[in-house]
Chain A
């Protein structure tokens, strides 16, 4: 699937998602994990990211990262079961990378999956885009218009891209 914008939030077409707004980019048995554009916008300015230790075991559904924004602390649930083999050390000094680049420089950790077929339980990009469209609609009950989800990223002016948001 191509990248799409749903109600102002970018959804990348190349990865899996969870209902809790985490993304999973699968490379062989490794699952790179982060939070979505919608999640980072909901959290607002991120000031600390509490990462797991390398080598730590994690189970699908466990809180394995905590993200502190100015207003809140949000748990990030491990989307899969396995061992943490890499964490994004850049976030120690620059936690706001999660705001600026949630799908790239702001990734959180890489988990080596104990059962790579587990990804089949995750949402596809299409599923997540639909879920997001429903959420956006609920959040804006005043607006009658349908939330478009098929917009291609190339048609969106740059300033509307989540990760291009000026800070």
Chain B
């Protein structure tokens, strides 16, 4: 599949990659330049491959409240919430953002690879409308994004995790980079014009930069840090799980003590940790890398990984086994200071 912006990406010189059946821009020349643009000024991303749904009517609130881990009572119209859909075993079906349009109308953004699964899962509990094909989703991220986007929409009053509607268009102050930024949902025609305009002022960025930026920001990616076999507690997403309400998967979460926790690792030696590489402590395997990259911002290898819980407070450094070479790594709280 291709997004309606495919021809524009081609003209911008994109190198493409396949992502869950979508032919998406990987980069437009240099992932490092794109990451730097977002960290220093701003970058624009086509993320129309993501899945977008609408839930409307009596009972939508109750259905979502039971299906998601975060407490919907924290939402008011115009507010966005990060949340998780769990299976009965407490594993993650998907991580999503929930937009409260009104107390009876919700918009949901889910992962591209989970589109059918989420549609069918929620659909078992409440009628769901898939609006992915008739909408575009564009992310504008970086400190200059407010100034640039203000030429098109008044976003001056928009606070973090809030959204505003402008006719057919919805703009939220959300993102996957750790920088101040926006996500724009709109119809195909408006979206094409907007992307053309934005990409002439902001650096177009592909999925390569998106992945590096989200690892630097410490955000999980479904399929890496999250899966049907990883619970939100193991993924260190405790603050998005409300035990004050009932939800599918709650009992399973309460019944188990996490045996592993997601941590962030900064490499102290040369090398790039990659997904699947073992985390070692005194020669023993005590964990595994779930995502890793070279960080252009820190000029070092960084990673997220699942670590045995009894090693969380070990004072010594760890090693990452990089194809047979042990490279020292330490646990850090964050890689880049978030400035959302």
> Would B323 and A70 count as touching, CB distance under 8 A?
no
Chain A: CB-nearest residue to B207: A71
Q: Chain B nearest CB: distance from A32 CB in Å?
A: 24
| Residue interface mask A60-80, B partner, CB < 8 A = 1 | 000000101111010000000
- Nearest-Cβ distance from residue B299 to partner chain A, whole angstroms: 9
Ordered nearest first, which 4 A-B pairs have the shortest CB separation? Answer: A47-B294, A45-B32, A70-B31, A68-B272
Q: Answer whether residue B293 sits at the interface, using C-beta atoms and an 8 A cutoff.
A: yes
Taking CB atoms, residues of chain B closer than 8 Å to A66 are: 323
Residue-by-residue, is A33-63 near B (CB-CB < 8 Å gives 1, otherwise 0)?
0000000010011011000000000000000
Docked complex Cα distance between A167 and B30 (Å): 7
Q: Which residue on B lies nearest to A165, using beta carbons?
A: B29
Report whether B272 and A47 are in contact in the complex, using a CB–CB cutoff of 8 Å: yes
Contacting residues, chain B, for A71 (C-beta < 8 A): 26, 31, 208, 211, 293
Q: Which chain A residues have a beta carbon within 8 Å of chain B's beta carbons?
A: 41, 44-45, 47-48, 66, 68-71, 73, 165-167
Is there a chain A Cβ closer than 8 Å to B261's Cβ? no
Q: A70-B208, A71-B208, A73-B272 are in contact. Are A48 and B294 (CB under 8 A)?
A: yes
Contact A48 B271 (CB under 8 A): yes
Residues of A within 8 A of B323 (CB): 66, 73
Which residue of the partner chain B has the closest CB to A166?
B29
B271 with A45: CB separation less than 8 A: no
Cβ contact within 8 Å between B270 and A70: no
Residues from chain B with Cβ under 8 Å of A70 in the complex: 31-32, 208, 212, 293-294, 296
Minimum Cβ distance to chain B for residue A69 (Å)? 8
- Shortest Cβ distance from residue B292 to the other chain A in the assembled complex, whole angstroms: 10
Residue B33 interfacial (CB < 8 Å):
yes
Min Cβ gap B208→A in Å is 6
Query: With an 8 A cutoff between CB atoms, is B260 at the interface?
Result: no
Q: Are B208 and A167 in contact (CB under 8 A)?
A: no
21 A-B contact pairs sorted by A residue (CB < 8 Å): A44-B26, A44-B27, A44-B31, A45-B30, A45-B31, A47-B272, A47-B294, A48-B294, A66-B323, A68-B294, A70-B31, A70-B32, A70-B208, A70-B212, A70-B294, A70-B296, A71-B211, A71-B293, A73-B272, A165-B29, A167-B33
